[in-house]
Amino acid sequence: MSDALRRAESILRAACGERVRTGFPLAPLTSFRIGGPAALYLEPESERDLVAAGEAVRQADLPVVVIGKGSNILVADRGFEGLVLRLGRGYRWAARSGDRITAGGSMPLPALAGVALSHALTGLEFGVAIPASFGGAIRMNAGAHGRELAEVVESVDLFELGTQAARVVPVAEAGFRYRNADLAADAVVVAGTVRLASADTSEIRRLMEEAREWRRRTQPLAEPNCGSVFKNPPGDHAARLIEEAGGKGLSVGGAAVSAKHANFIVAAEGAKASDVVELVTKVQDLVAARSGVHLEPEVHLVGHFDLAPR
């Protein structure tokens, strides 16, 4: 372990004790189920923990990454030589006030959609089929079925590790756009508030079941994957472009373009993160040669890769 990592570990242990883990396996925390360990790992349960994390990162000049449900990340085979944070149970909560629901960053988005249903509030039905934490969903402006989180988010609660300060960002300042938001790289989404509308619960249930059924029918749920690998280009769909270019079924090592959905890459037993990244670049090249379109990855890479998607 480097001097910087030892310094960071010392600071974290002084505040968080044995909850700080070293060489912690990350693969089980991702939907790909591949990748190496985190040099340091912590599940913050309170702002006090986040203050300690911010101090460790500042004093040790250490790289840090925040993960949620791990459904749109790919961890490098050698892991991450820094601090990985994943909000703990202290940030899994929800509270309703009228047509607004405020929830913690580690609240699963499907569970939050269920909370909305229990209060006969509509607007989050699409989230029932997105395997993300609320914080991660805000960070990437998650969406499905022509809807996205930016349509219902009213404000975002952040803890900025660099300044070790909390602040609330109104939606107008969050810079939401397709599968992204203009939130500082060191900002942890600790909570958020959505504004919904009243509706009949039977109609909400119908929309939720439609979303679940669509996911079951169109996605390779039985195989490890990270969801959509590429963002859809304006006015088109990445899956269509990949199929048109003959990319469906293409494979590298243990990674393959799904036969069920061309914008999914599935990982067989023994697959490596490097297999996935090489396949991503092959698909990019194939589509660019066929249609002239550059596919931009939606999956986020954690750690160092010898080969990186263009």
Contact 233, 242 (CB under 8 A): no
Give 241-297 pLDDT, tens digit per residue: 999 999 998 999 999 999 999 999 999 999 999 999 999 999 999 999 999 999 999
Asked if 179 is an active-site residue, the reply is yes
Selected catalytic residue, list 228, 258, 274, 278: 228
Judge whether 298 counts as a catalytic residue: yes
Overall CATH class of domain 3-86: alpha beta
43, 148, 278, 298: the catalytic one is: 298
CATH 3.40.640.10 matches 220-302: no
pTM of the model: 0.95
Q: Where are the domains of the chain?
A: 3-86, 93-217, 220-302
Is 290 annotated in the active site? no
- What is the topology classification, in CATH, of domain 93-217? 3.30.465
Show the tokens assigned to 250. 């293409």
DSSP 39-88: EEEE---SHHHHHHHHHHHHHHT--EEE-SS-TTEEE-TT-EEEEEE---
Position 129 pLDDT exceeds 80: yes
Please pick, among 58, 78, 179, 195, the residue that the annotation labels catalytic. 179
pLDDT tens per residue across span 206-241: 999 999 999 999 999 999 999 999 999 999 999 999
Q: H helices within the chain, ranges in order? A: 3-16, 47-60, 109-118, 134-140, 201-218, 238-244, 273-291
* In the predicted structure, residue 310 carries a pLDDT above the cut 80: no
